[in-house]
Copies of this chain bind each other. A is one copy, B any other.
Amino acid sequence: MDISDWRKKIDELDIEIVRLISQRAAAARAIGELKRTADLPVYEPRREQDVFDRVRAANPGPLADAELLHVYERIIDVMRTLQRRDL
């Protein structure tokens, strides 16, 4: 495969990644609404640590755990903003 073939592959993966991150955001928004109803805090450090642990455990490579967690920190950060934005 040449560079252009790999880029086509990446473009296909990006469509899927965007779809799944958006589904994750919809779920996070639903949780945000339930938390608001129950008067629970948006920020739950133990749940976030649990997510990071699962991500680390699921990492097949080639990214280092720290690199993948770097991406996930941003995902969690954006989800938290979404939960607060919808309040």
Q: Which residues of A contact B (CB under 8 A)?
A: 1-3, 6-7, 9-11, 13-31, 34-35, 47, 51, 54-55, 58-63, 67-68, 70-71, 73-75, 77-78, 81-82
> A78 contacts B82, CB within 8 Å?
no
Tell me whether B47 and A27 are in contact (CB under 8 A): no
Given A20-B20, A22-B60, A61-B22, A54-B3 contact (CB < 8 Å): no
Given known pairs A19-B58, A20-B20, A63-B21, the reply for A31 and B13 (CB within 8 Å) is no
If A58-B14, A62-B29 touch, whether A81 touches B67 (CB-CB below 8 Å) is yes
Q: How far is the CA of A15 from the CA of B57 in the complex (A)?
A: 10
